[in-house]
Amino acid sequence: MKQNWHNLGHFVDAEKNKIKNIESRILTSLMCNPQQTFNELWKKEGASNKFAYHLKVLGKKGLVEKNEIGKYQLTVEGKKSVAHIEQDKGNVCEFPIIAIITLVVKGSQYLLMHRTKEPFYGYWGLHGGKLRSTNYILEQAKESIQRETGLTCDVELKGLFSSKTYVNDKFSYSHQLFIVRATDPKGVLLLKTRKGVNRWVEKKDVTGLKTLPNIPHLIKIATGKRFRWIEADRFQEGNDFTKMDVKKDILL
């Protein structure tokens, strides 16, 4: 019985891959030849009824449409979708997490957050958020700080921190972080949000906290006089960070 379930799992995975490959082939074909007839897209590869079905599915997803002369083309959403596909292989690209990280400074204190949610539950870190396509860098910094702390600040872009993270010695994910310094905070501090607890910490006391391994480097970037770019590999064993290797540290 276990063997039968195992074989069924392989069959289901294989069928999912076939579906993915047909739809990817249609999308990648329309990347380079924006307007095609059914036969030009199909190329007599596989059963025509199955190909027609998946072409219809892409239409229902809002990725492909028929134009006024009866040819198929990518919709606006379809064009956005193929930006994540490698043309030569048809695979979906893995993109880094692009985020804005902001250090809020007030006199001899930094505003830190004690995380009470995953990922990185229990670690101390800085505030920030993923860069939305509708925002510029400093717009995102102001928006994230106001949402996460209740404060408004003057902001300045100070550098870039690039990292690859390996979990149990296997590549897991990567970050491209724009580092911003925020000064002259105004407003009433939110003591707690869905992400964690906010607290002003004396600069000299930061090293005594359980911080993410890149925090000292992010602070160095944010407080420097010149634009700085640091590139580093981070390593985790399970949920715990074990070390970080800095590959590049450049002042621009």
pLDDT at 146: 96
Asked whether residue 240 carries a pLDDT value surpassing 50, the answer given is yes
Measured CA to CA, the distance from residue 179 to residue 184 in angstroms comes to 17
Q: Which of 32-46, 136-150, 192-206 has the least mean pLDDT?
A: 32-46
Instruction: Look up the pTM and report it.
Output: 0.72
Classify residue 175 as exposed, middle or buried by CB count within 10 Å of its CB (0-12, 13-18, 19+): middle
pLDDT at 34: 87
Residue type, 95: F
Instruction: Choose among 94, 71, 85: nearest CA to 31.
Output: 85
Compute the average pLDDT of residues 39-60.
Answer: 92
Q: Sketch out the chain's domains with CATH numbers.
A: 2-82 (1.10.10.10), 97-251 (3.90.79.10)
Measured CA to CA, the distance from residue 112 to residue 121 in angstroms comes to 14
